[in-house]
Amino acid sequence: MARRLFDQESNRLFYGQQFVPEPGYSLDFAVGMTYSLDLNAFLGIPISLGMLDDLESAGAKNPFYLLEAIRKSGDHIAVFCNAGSIHTPKKSEPVHILLEQSIFQVALGPKTNFHPKVWVIRYRNFDGDTYIRVVVLSRNITFDRCFDIAASLTGEVGGRAREANRPLSDLLRFVSGFADGDPVKRKLIRSVADDVLKVREFAPMECFDSVEFLPVGIPGYKKIAEPELSGARSLVLVSPFLSDGVVKALTVSAKQTALITRKSSITPTALSSFQDVFVTKELVLDNELLEEGESEETPQRDIHAKIFFEERDDGKYLYLGSLNASANAFYHNVEFMLKLRYRPYYASFTSVLGDLVQEEQSPFERIETMDELPEAAEQEDPADLQDVVYAVKQAKVTSNGELYTVHISCGALESPCEIALFGSSSVYRNLAEEVVFEKVSLTALSEFYIVRRGNVSAIIKISTVGIPAEERDNAIYSTIIGDRRGFFKYVSFLLSDDYAETSLEEQMLGMENANEASASSAVAGVYEQLLRTAAENPERLVAVENMMSRLNPEIVDERFRVLISTCRSAAKQVKRK
């Protein structure tokens, strides 16, 4: 009996909900992989992982909320992205610089992209029980609104290694090699890889009876895509990007075929190789079906999911993940797919196609001719700044009193390019053998740099010697918190039982701070909150003290230092009793 999996209403998943830990568990470490990365989208990941309570978008804009999310998650997250594929934000914020410790570039060579979209997350409870969640996606860590696909699997960590889990473990070990600048996180990633091997079972949905992990393009798994996916007698393919050679290899033996893709990717070969071809309707592309809260400036929706449904002699299989039906994906890139085998009678060519392309309210329409179709476009990102990634050698920071000088060394480029410091993005220099930025403030220092060629720009991460990272981070904290009033608001935030409620309350307080009376009342409330916390949740005082140690001494009221020290001492005495 077929079960619907692709209905865009009843089967819709919310990205953040895939990361929420089970009751009683908390995040231990998370490894994410993505082709492209939006820093503002990444800011939401710590919240989703349970580092803070969920919050509506209005409160999430509160800088204290974001600052605390980054503070709590920085040691627990590592994200790997394709080198040169970090989006340039419309406005660079100091809080973005604090993300650099969690982001690692993967540079595989000029013709090879790092393209997986997967999260491997380890959660633990107070008893030491551990489970792993694997979230396989076709979506990058961006605000893209295209049609994507995701699947989540969970398994408890046991004591014996299972060979079925080794491909996923091998992928983690592969990416750990690109965290060479952070030996602590490299070790943590490898410990997650070890635990993945020991997961007793990654149980799929009831309609499947087995699951396999398929990394593509890493050592031991080179060019496995074509032999794995060719030879089907029935094929439903969802792929935004196509290559004629791959299309022929996939369809040569198939008796039933259907394709869902982008208009720009259709070629005569693709049209003649599939019995049915569908593309996204114009009204969807043009945002004529806007949802609540969307505007005409909302990015277009198109197909971005990667799905292969195949009927073969030994069963019916569903593949999903990052792999396009393109030459780059099959023969050059690093990719990741999930392979699921259906139980008997749970799926067929007709049911899967009907699930994807429904008769009513379908976002897709059938295409039968090449009339008025644009030329094919295989690449996901036409912006080519990869030569810059490999040309830039290193950077060095030297101190000149309270200001700094940044020296960047670069090799030969294919064409002229400009570079700017991420923390001072209004000043660009022509990228040459040596580039110098002088009179740079402490808070503008970062391993993030913006490179620009014409209208195309991207962030690259350059190994930079001499950044006083701890002092820089402390200065950013002080800049965001601002003054003593901001300090008391942040303390109130840290001590609250409800981060979301406090965040909204503090925003309201900030709009009502026109007189000293309201300020004094707020400070008195914080003192009361502190005393209550010392009695009920003394462990939270540690977070307050850690934050205080980061701030400019002028921001922290000396009376508060004495009070919190007294509260900590009292809490210890109560605990000993």
Q: How do residues 255-291 score in pLDDT, each as one tens digit?
A: 999 999 999 999 999 999 999 999 988 766 665 444 4
Res 449 pLDDT > 70: yes
The DSSP H or E segment spanning 28 is: strand 25-34
Mean pLDDT of the chain: 85
Residue 513 has pLDDT above 70, yes or no: no
pLDDT of 398 strictly over 90 = yes
Residues 56-106 have pLDDT tens digits of: 444 555 667 778 778 888 899 999 999 999 999 988 888 899 999 999 999
Domains and CATH numbers, the chain: 15-203 (3.30.870), 225-366 (3.30.870.10), 386-472 (2.60.40), 482-576 (no CATH)
At 100 the pLDDT is: 93
> What pLDDT, in 10s, does the model give residues 541-575?
787 888 888 888 888 877 777 877 777 776 666 55
Given a cut of 50, whether residue 295 has pLDDT beyond it is: no
* One-letter amino acid of 567: C
pLDDT at 309: 97
Contacts of 103 (CB under 8 A, 6+ apart): 37, 42, 79, 81, 86, 461
- The tally of CA atoms less than 13 A away on the side-chain side of residue 553 is 1
pLDDT digits (tens, 9 = 90+) for 159-218: 899 999 999 999 999 999 999 889 999 999 999 999 999 999 998 989 999 999 999 999
Output the pLDDT for position 518: 52
Residue 249: the pLDDT is 97
- How far is residue 28's CA from residue 130's CA, in Å, rounded to a whole number? 9
Which helix (H) or strand (E) segment holds residue 572: the answer is helix 558-576
User: Model confidence at 508, in pLDDT bands (50, 70, 90)?
Assistant: very low
Whole-number pLDDT of residue 575:
59
Name the pLDDT band for 9 (thresholds 50, 70, 90). low
Torsion angles phi and psi, residue 12, rounded to 5: -70, 135
Residues 35-47: tens digit of each pLDDT: 999 999 998 887 7
Q: How would residue 239 be classed by pLDDT, with cut points 50, 70 and 90? A: very high
**pLDDT value of position 289:** 46
| pLDDT (average), residues 431-435 | 94
For 98-140, what is each residue's pLDDT tens digit?
999 999 999 998 889 999 999 999 999 999 999 999 999 999 9
Task: Please give the pLDDT value at position 562.
Answer: 80
The count of other CB atoms within 10 Å of the CB of residue 26 is 14
Name every residue whose Cβ is closer than 8 Å to that of residue 369 and which is 6 or more positions away in sequence.
271
* pLDDT at res. 428: 94
What is the C-alpha separation between 339 and 325, in angstroms, rounded?
16
Report yes or no: 176 and 331 within 8 Å, Cβ to Cβ.
no
State yes or no: pLDDT of 349 exceeds 80: yes
Residue 443 has pLDDT above 90, yes or no: yes
**SS3 label, residue 365:** strand
Distance between CA atoms of 81 and 258, rounded to whole angstroms? Answer: 32
Predicted model pTM: 0.88
Q: Of all residues in the chain, what percent carry a pLDDT higher than 90?
A: 56
In this model, does residue 296 exceed pLDDT 80? no
| pLDDT the model gives residue 555 | 85
